[in-house]
Amino acid sequence: MDEHEEQEFAEYFAARRDSVRRTAYLLCGDWHRADDLAQTAFVALHRRWSRIRDRGALDAYVRRTLVRASIDESRRPWRREQQVDRLPEPEPAAERLDEQVALRADLLAALRQVPPKQRAVLVLRYFEGLDVAGVAKALGCSEGNVKSQTARGLTHLRAALGEEVETRG
């Protein structure tokens, strides 16, 4: 890459770094893994930067790379969760938790219980705000698959939360 392209990439990276990291966190539920996933997505983008003609599609490219990396990571045997007989001691809670923080924590915990592909669909639909066609394009699958994965994912999420999940869109 020439100096101009490096500058363009650096500007894009600076503008999108936090958003991509947040999306990665919603996909995997762990900030350290989210950092790794975001780095994987940006490294892949950097490798192909000079060959990308449509700069308007950069977000879609990064999003697709991020989702694929997240699903691939979940398939690796050393990433699987293991059952333990005794739970670790909880961290001391703050004096007063705000209701939004508690709801967010519950939602994130429940989201981690949703299978990876369904989680990816839910994050792209309801966090990223993509429509069914946009999610299908990002994941490289049919719109029907997105709809069924969304329905299954919401069912898993409802079961994990033990209540009705409100969706918009």
pLDDT at 95 over 50: no
Flag whether pLDDT at 163 surpasses 90: no
Domain stop point among 46, 78, 110? 78
Angle between helices 143-161 and 132-139 (to 10 degrees): 100
- Tokens coding 81: 């969760």
Output the domain CATH number for residue 16. Answer: 1.10.1740
- Give the integer Cα–Cα distance in Å for 133 and 23: 19
Of 78, 109, 141, the one marking the end of a domain is 78
User: If you average pLDDT over every residue of the chain, what do you get?
Assistant: 85
Pairwise CA distance, residues 7 & 168, whole Å: 38
Decide: 75 and 120 in contact? Cβ < 8 Å: no
Q: Is residue 84 situated within a structural domain?
A: no
Confidence (pTM): 0.57
156 or 78, higher pLDDT:
156
- pLDDT category of residue 135 using cuts at 50, 70 and 90: very high
Q: Which of 118, 121, 119 is nearest to 27 (CA)?
A: 119
Residues 74 and 132 in one domain: no
Residue 80 gets the label, from left (phi > 0), alpha (psi -120 to 50) or beta, of beta
**CA–CA–CA angle 137, 131, 119 (5° rounding):** 75
- Domain harbouring 121, CATH code: 1.10.10.10
Question: Which residues constitute the domain of residue 113?
Answer: 96-169
Q: How many domains does the chain have?
A: 2
Q: pLDDT tens across 22-76, in order?
A: 999 999 888 999 999 999 999 999 999 988 888 888 999 999 999 999 888 777 6
Does 64 share its domain with 6? yes
Residue 75 and residue 72: Cα distance in Å, rounded?
A: 5
Q: What is the pLDDT of residue 81?
A: 58
For residue 42, the model assigns a pLDDT of 96
Reply yes or no on whether the pLDDT at 164 is more than 60. Answer: no
Q: What gap in Å lies between CA 28 and CA 70, rounded to an integer?
A: 7
d(CA 90, CA 22): 24
In a domain, 91, yes or no: no
Q: Mean of the pLDDT values across residues 117-136?
A: 92
What local confidence, expressed as pLDDT, does residue 72 receive? 85
